[in-house]
C-alpha cells in the first residue's frame, strides 16, 4: 500500500491549477512541495524514491506544477572567495556552512557589496540575459504536457531579500529608504537582467505556461518590513514591470511574501496579482481565517501550513488536525494551493511530512 494515499483524480495537474487560479471547483486542491535537503532525503527514502527523482516524488505525493527555467551558458562571473565559502555563480552572494543538530545549511555571509562605493556598484558583474538556454527550456516544457508549468520563482523580481544577500539587509534597506543613486541604479540593473530572462522565457514558451511566480519578502513576524509609501516608490514599479508582462501573455501571477505582508495585498490586487504565497499563519494578519475574510475570492492562497508549528514540533496527529482546519477555511473560497509556508525544515520528523501530504489528499477533495 502506498505511503501517501492519494485522492481520486479526475483532472490533469494542468487543468487543476488553471481552474484554481480562476476560483473554479476542482477535484482536489493543488499541491506544492518545498523542503530543505536533509528532510527531503529522509522523505524520499520513506517513499522509496531516489532523492534526485523529482518527477517520481511529485507523482507519489501529487505535486501539480513544474518550474521552467533556462540554464546559464555564458562566461564565468564569480569564483568561490575562500576555503569554506561558496559564491553563487550568477549573483555572487557568499555563503558558509553552519552546523546545527539536524545537520546544517548554507547561510549568507561576507556581503560583497556592504559599504560599497559608487564604483563598486557600477562594476559589479551582472549576467547578460542573452547567455541562457531558452531552447532547452522550451524543450523541457514541451515534454511535460500534463503538469502545470510556471516561469519564475519566489525570488524573481525580489528587491529587498536578494539585494540584502549582496549588501547586507541594513545597507539594502538604507539605500532604499534614502534613494541612494548608485545603489538604486544597481538594483534596477539587477531587475533589468531578471526581467530580460523572464521576458525571453515567456516568449520562447508561449502557449505552454500556466502561471508566473514572483517574490518579495515584505514583512517581519509582527509588522511590515518597509512602509507602504516606500514600497510604492521603490519596489512596486519593479513588480509592476513583471506583472504587466505576465498579463500580456494571459498568465496569472503568484507572488511570494514572507512574514506579515497582507498590508500590501490591496496594491497587489490593483496591479493584477492573482495569488499570494507563503502565508505564515503565526505572523500578524496572516492567519487562514483573516486571509479568507479579507481577501477570499480576490486572491489565490498558497501555503499556510506552518513550518514552525506542529509540522516541526508536534505529532503526526497534530499535523493532521492543523492541515484539516486550514483546508476547511481556505477551501471555502476556492483558489487554495496546499503547501508549506516555506521550505520544510530539517528538524521536521519524517512522519509529520507524510501526515501533511496524506491530509492534503484526505481533506482537500471538493
Phi-psi region of 92 (alpha: psi -120 to 50; beta: other; left: phi over 0): left
- What DSSP string describes 279-336? --TTSTT-SHHHHHHHHBTTBEEEEEE-TTTHHHHS-HHHHHHHHHHHHHHHGGGS-E
CA distance 152 to 99: 30
- Report the pLDDT value the prediction gives residue 298, as an integer from 0 to 100: 98
Q: Output the CA–CA distances (angstroms, integers) from residue 270 to 191, 238, 327, in the order listed.
A: 21, 15, 27
Please provide the average confidence, as pLDDT, over all residues in the chain: 97
Contact assessment for residue 257 and residue 278, using Cβ atoms and an 8 Å cutoff: yes
pLDDT over 60 (residue 6): yes
Residue 292: how many CB atoms within 10 A of its CB? 18
* Range 196-205 burial, b when 16+ CB lie within 10 A, else e: ebbbbbbebb
Write the pLDDT tens digit of every residue in 307-365.
999 999 999 999 999 999 999 999 999 999 999 999 999 999 999 999 999 999 999 99
pTM of the shown model: 0.96
- What share of the chain has pLDDT > 90, as a percent? 97
- Report the pLDDT value the prediction gives residue 191, as an integer from 0 to 100: 97
Contact assessment for residue 7 and residue 338, using Cβ atoms and an 8 Å cutoff: no
Enumerate the β-bridge partners of residue 340.
305
Contact assessment for residue 288 and residue 338, using Cβ atoms and an 8 Å cutoff: no
Contact assessment for residue 159 and residue 184, using Cβ atoms and an 8 Å cutoff: no
- What does the pLDDT average to over 60-70? 98
- Report the pLDDT value the prediction gives residue 2, as an integer from 0 to 100: 76
CATH top class, domain 13-75+114-363: alpha beta
Contact assessment for residue 221 and residue 280, using Cβ atoms and an 8 Å cutoff: yes
Question: Minimal CA–CA distance to 292: which of 343, 242, 335, 350?
Answer: 335
CA distance 280 to 286: 6
Write the pLDDT tens digit of every residue in 150-187.
999 999 999 999 999 999 999 999 999 999 999 999 99
pLDDT over 90 (residue 103): no
CA distance 22 to 13: 14
Domain range annotation of the chain: 13-75+114-363
Residues near 45 by beta carbon (within 8 Å), at least 6 away in sequence: 51
Write the pLDDT tens digit of every residue in 273-322.
999 999 999 999 999 999 999 999 999 999 999 999 999 999 999 999 99
CA distance 295 to 297: 6
- Report the pLDDT value the prediction gives residue 1, as an integer from 0 to 100: 57
Write the pLDDT tens digit of every residue in 243-266.
999 999 999 999 999 999 999 999
Mutual angle of helices 236-248 and 181-204, in 10-degree steps = 10
Contact assessment for residue 262 and residue 224, using Cβ atoms and an 8 Å cutoff: no
- What does the pLDDT average to over 31-59? 97
**DSSP character at residue 68:** -
Contact assessment for residue 217 and residue 259, using Cβ atoms and an 8 Å cutoff: yes
Amino acid at each position: 500500500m502506498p505511503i501517501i494515499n492519494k485522492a481520486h483524480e479526475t483532472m490533469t495537474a494542468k487543468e487543476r491549477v488553471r481552474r484554481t487560479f480562476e476560483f473554479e471547483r476542482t477535484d482536489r486542491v493543488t499541491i506544492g512541495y518545498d523542503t530543505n535537503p536533509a528532510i527531503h532525503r529522509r522523505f524520499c527514502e520513506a517513499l522509496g524514491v531516489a532523492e534526485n527523482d523529482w518527477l517520481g516524488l511529485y507523482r507519489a505525493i501529487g505535486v501539480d506544477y513544474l518550474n521552467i527555467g533556462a540554464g546559464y551558458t555564458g562566461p564565468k562571473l564569480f569564483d568561490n572567495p575562500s576555503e569554506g565559502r561558496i559564491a553563487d555563480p550568477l549573483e555572487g552572494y557568499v555563503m558558509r556552512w553552519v552546523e546545527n543538530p539536524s545537520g546544517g545549511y548554507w547561510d549568507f555571509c561576507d556581503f560583497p557589496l556592504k559599504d560599497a562605493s559608487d564604483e563598486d556598484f557600477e562594476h559589479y558583474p551582472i549576467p547578460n540575459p542573452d547567455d541562457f538556454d531558452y531552447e532547452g527550456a522550451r524543450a523541457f516544457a514541451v515534454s511535460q504536457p500534463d503538469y502545470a508549468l510556471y516561469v519564475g520563482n519566489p525570488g524573481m523580481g525580489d528587491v529587498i531579500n536578494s539585494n540584502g544577500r549582496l549588501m547586507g539587509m541594513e545597507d539594502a534597506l538604507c539605500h532604499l529608504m534614502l534613494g541612494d543613486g548608485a545603489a538604486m541604479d544597481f538594483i534596477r540593473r539587477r531587475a533589468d537582467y531578471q526581467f530580460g530572462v523572464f521576458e525571453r522565457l515567456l516568449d520562447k514558451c508561449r502557449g505552454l505556461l500556466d502561471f508566473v511566480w514572483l517574490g518579495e519578502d515584505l514583512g517581519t513576524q509582527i509588522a511590515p518590513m518597509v512602509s507602504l509609501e516606500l514600497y510604492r516608490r521603490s519596489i512596486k514599479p519593479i513588480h509592476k514591470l513583471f506583472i504587466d508582462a505576465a498579463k500580456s501573455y494571459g498568465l496569472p501571477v503568484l507572488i511570494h511574501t514572507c512574514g506579515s505582508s497582507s498590508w500590501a495585498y490591496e496594491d497587489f490586487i490593483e496591479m493584477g496579482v492573482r495569488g499570494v504565497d507563503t502565508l505564515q499563519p503565526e505572523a500578524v494578519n496572516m492567519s487562514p481565517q483573516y486571509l479568507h475574510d479579507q481577501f477570499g475570492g480576490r486572491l489565490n492562497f498558497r501555503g499556510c501550513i506552518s513550518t514552525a508549528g506542529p509540522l516541526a514540533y508536534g505529532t503526526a496527529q497534530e499535523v493532521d488536525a492543523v492541515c484539516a482546519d486550514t483546508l476547511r477555511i481556505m477551501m471555502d473560497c476556492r483558489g487554495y494551493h496546499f503547501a508549506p509556508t516555506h521550505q520544510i525544515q530539517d528538524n521536521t520528523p519524517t512522519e509529520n511530512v507524510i501526515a501533511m501530504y496524506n491530509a492534503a489528499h484526505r481533506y482537500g477533495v471538493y
